[in-house]
Structure 1
Amino acid sequence: MAAADRRAAGHRRGVLGPPPVAAETVHGPDDRVQITDTSVYPWRVHCSLLITAADNSRWIGTGWFIGPHTLATAGHVVYIKNSGVAGRDGWVKSINVMPGRNGNTLPYGVVTSTSFRTVNGWANNGDENYDYGAIILPNNLGNTTGWFGFGVWSDADLLKTVGNISGYPGDKPAGTQWYDARGVASVGPRKVYYDIDTAGGQSGSSVYHFYNGGRYGIAIHAYGGAVTNSGTRITTPVYNNYVAWKA
């Protein structure tokens, strides 16, 4: 989300997004639906994030469990790049993870992480094609919440699937979870594009589809645009990194 477009979201916390691109976007009528029964699967897999950056500024984002102690999220959630603010760029100091949050209700409490992962393509180059990362928890809370699978699919398979996104947008009441779904519009070698309504704060959400009765991530939501929003596609290298980060 462009620095000029960041909006306050609850207790003067900023909405974290990547600086060089357009804000995550609602296109036309807002189709998002609020999830209120967040303490049950699959909604408890999605986590509200409160991020403390290197300069002690605070931001919100979204992550999702992929294993007992690992969450997938956007790279710019864990490693801030090109903010233009002295002392802000680099690894964030800490992230408070709140699974299945519903406003002031925290059915699984708050877990603070200081262990993060991303890749050189993001941390060194700020390349949006590599904008993905992970949060490592100090406990196995995912064994309680459950998690989503993730996988690598062909262009043809992705173009005929429906993408689903649930997360914690900054343009809605603080800490509330919102869901929307729509068919994948187009794909690139490292990106998936869709007209699913999102807003700042949903960076790091799972873009998932249904496969053999389960929910599997196909991308990590990260960016917006005038016509479509987009996420970092789960390619074979991304898949392999997440498998390693789960271990």
Structure 2
Amino acid sequence: MMVKSISNASAAAVEMQLAPMTTTMTDGMHGTEKPPEDGSYHDMLAFGFGQPVVSSADGFRQRTVIGEDDRILVTQTKADPFRRICNLLIEGSLGTYVGTGTLVGPRTVLTAGHCVNHRATMGGWAKRIIVTPGQNGTERPFGQFASTNFIALDRWVDSQDPDYDISCIQLDEPIGEKVGTFSLATFPAAELENRKVNICGYPADKGGMHQWFHADQVLTVGPKRVFYVTDTFGGQSGAPVWVYRDDAPDVPIQIGVHAYGTGGTPSAMGIAANSAPLLIPEVMEQIKSWIAAAGE
């Protein structure tokens, strides 16, 4: 398939033979800026009321702690793999939001599609995203990086298809060379069933400035999404969903991008589960192309 490019500057459209299709938005403007130091992010429980505040970019469907809240505060964000997990401060036309992403290449941050393009909460494309690897409250040990260069799968941009809710943010600085990157893999469904999956991100109900981690059981695996009872909340969209191989118990391997709470699980499945689009082969090929393009 062809890559479809949308630009609000003079960047030329690029065509490649890839699947699935992608949509790109870039204005070439990059820089660094610190968000305010005077408080934590706040979760907006109803969009459209009062003055804009920082909220989760993912709406009500992603706000799910299942049963008891078993999330654990991460205090050592300079350690692996937490240093590779990024806080996203997302500026949209309708407000400012918090999300999560992971470094998967020197200049590439993988996240949920709705963290860069969401009609309901952002009115379309984000205007700018400030990326902070390993943020720990007001501590930003690896610096901050502002970007307006975003790419999302066409199936997300065109139809908001939850199975393709995946995107990336491209940075000018190769910070991934310093903090490291997540390994990515496609796992057959049979290898994911009955595993525990790990998720860590920046939930808005905890202030949106600290990482919170939980690992719990996979309930079922569909052709393009994995469903689990690992606790999450708004702001953790875009967080890595990772596993460990039996023969490499210390190597985290990302197999999906967290995007949905129980409200995003089809009712016909009859389960209460959070979920993530899987890194299926066609998506993996696309991500590889994004990483390669960011390195140019």
Q: Under a length normalisation based on structure 2, what TM-score does the superposition of the two structures give?
A: 0.76
Displacement after TM superposition at 1:70 (Å): 0.6
Question: What secondary structure sits across from 1:67 in the alignment?
Answer: coil
Identity within the alignment, %:
36
SS in 2 for 1:241: helix
Partner of residue 236, structure 1: 281
Q: TM-score when scaled to structure 1? A: 0.90
Distance 1:97 1:140, change over 3 A: same
1:171 alignment partner, SS class:
helix
Give the whole-Å Cα distance in 1 for the aligned partners of 2:200 and 2:162: 21
CA distance in 2, matches of 1:208, 1:150: 9
Aligned equivalent of 1:118: 152
CA distance in 2, matches of 1:7, 1:179: 30
5+ residue gaps in structure 2?
1-43, 264-271
The residue type equivalent to 2:102 in the other structure is: W
Counterpart-to-counterpart distance in 1, 2:144 and 2:47: 25
CA contact (8 A) 2:243 2:255 kept: yes
Question: Paired residue for 1:41?
Answer: 80
Tell me how many residue pairs correspond in the alignment.
Answer: 236
TM-superposed CA distance for 1:4, in Å, is 5.9
Q: CA RMSD in A?
A: 1.9
Distance apart, 1:113 and its partner CA: 1.1
**Residues 90 and 174 (structure 1), Cα distance of their counterparts in 2 relative to 1, 3 Å cut:** closer
| Alpha-carbon distance in 2 for matches of 1:14, 1:69 | 26
- Residue 262 of structure 2: aligned partner: 225
Equivalent in the alignment of 2:196? 162
Distance 1:174 1:23, change over 3 A: closer
- 1:103 counterpart = 2:137: yes
Mapped to 1, the partners of 2:189 and 2:112 lie a distance apart of: 22
Moved more, 221-230 or 199-208: 221-230
Contact 2:73/2:212, CA 8 A, preserved across alignment: yes
Tell me how far apart the structure 2 counterparts of residues 161 and 28 of structure 1 sit (CA, whole Å). Answer: 19
Larger radius of gyration: 2
1:74–1:203 contact (8 Å) kept in structure 2: yes
Deviation at 1:173, TM superposition (A): 3.1
Runs of 4+ aligned residues of structure 1 deviating over 6 Å after TM superposition are none
Amino acid at match of 2:277: T
Task: Describe the superposition over 1:85-104 as per-residue Cα deviations: whole angstroms up to 9, x where unpaired.
Answer: xxx42221110001100101
Aligned residue for 2:56? 15
Where do residues 1-247 of structure 1 align in structure 2 (5 Å cutoff)? 5=46, 12-17=53-58, 19=59, 22-53=61-92, 55=93, 57-83=95-121, 88-211=122-245, 212-213=247-248, 214-225=251-262, 227-247=272-292
- Higher relative contact order, chain-length normalized (CA < 8 Å, sep 6+): 1
The amino acid of 2:55's aligned partner reads: G
Q: For residues 7 and 239 of structure 1, what CA distance do their matches in structure 2 show?
A: 36
Amino acid at match of 1:241: Q
Distance 2:257 2:173 in 1: 23
Unaligned runs of 5+ in 1: none
Change (3 A) 1:6 1:183: farther
